[in-house]
Amino acid sequence: MLKTGGFVWLQAMARRVLLVVNRKSRTGAEQLQAAEACLRKVGLEVIALGLEAPTEIPEAIKARAGEIELVALGGGDGTLNVACEALLETRLPFAILPLGTANDLARTLSIPTKLEEACAVAANGLKYRIDLGRANG
């Protein structure tokens, strides 16, 4: 709590975020540490995981669901596709750190492609509800 000029400002506690980076995405391997540092810089408490196989992502999210308030996905559209089922099951919000090739969903939602700007959106950005569909299983 901070007092200034008769006003009391309540400072929000750092939100706990699970940073899941697909090391196989276009820039995932080299961006893991930068993404972690960037999220910490904007006030988030980070549990960072660099996964070698995208198929590991759903279990990683489910295993830590009770410890976190947000999932930050570092990768591209493939990473998001793999994470969808776990995000739906856990009902956790997610942030996109566009580290993939096309990053179509990130572009559609106007998420900046620069890591620092995407991390700021993760911490302070807009919330969207999006529809998900399933085709061919």
Q: What is the pTM of this model?
A: 0.83
Residues paired with 94 in a beta bridge: 71
Tell me the C-alpha distance between 28 and 26, whole Å: 6
Q: Residue 137 domain-assigned?
A: no
**Domain CATH code at residue 87:** 3.40.50.10330
How many structural domains compose the chain? 1
Q: Residue 48 domain-assigned?
A: yes
Q: For residue 44, name the pLDDT band (cuts at 50, 70, 90).
A: very high
Tell me the C-alpha distance between 71 and 115, whole Å: 16
- Mean pLDDT, all residues of the chain: 85
Tell me the C-alpha distance between 125 and 35, whole Å: 16
Q: Residue 38 domain-assigned?
A: yes
Give the largest CA-CA distance in the chain: 61
Q: Residue 34 domain-assigned?
A: yes
Q: Please report the pLDDT score of residue 2 as a whole number.
A: 44
Residue 79 lies in domain: 13-124
Q: Residue 4 domain-assigned?
A: no
Q: Residue 66 domain-assigned?
A: yes
The DSSP bridge pattern shows strands 70-75 and 94-98 to be parallel
Tell me the C-alpha distance between 88 and 36, whole Å: 24
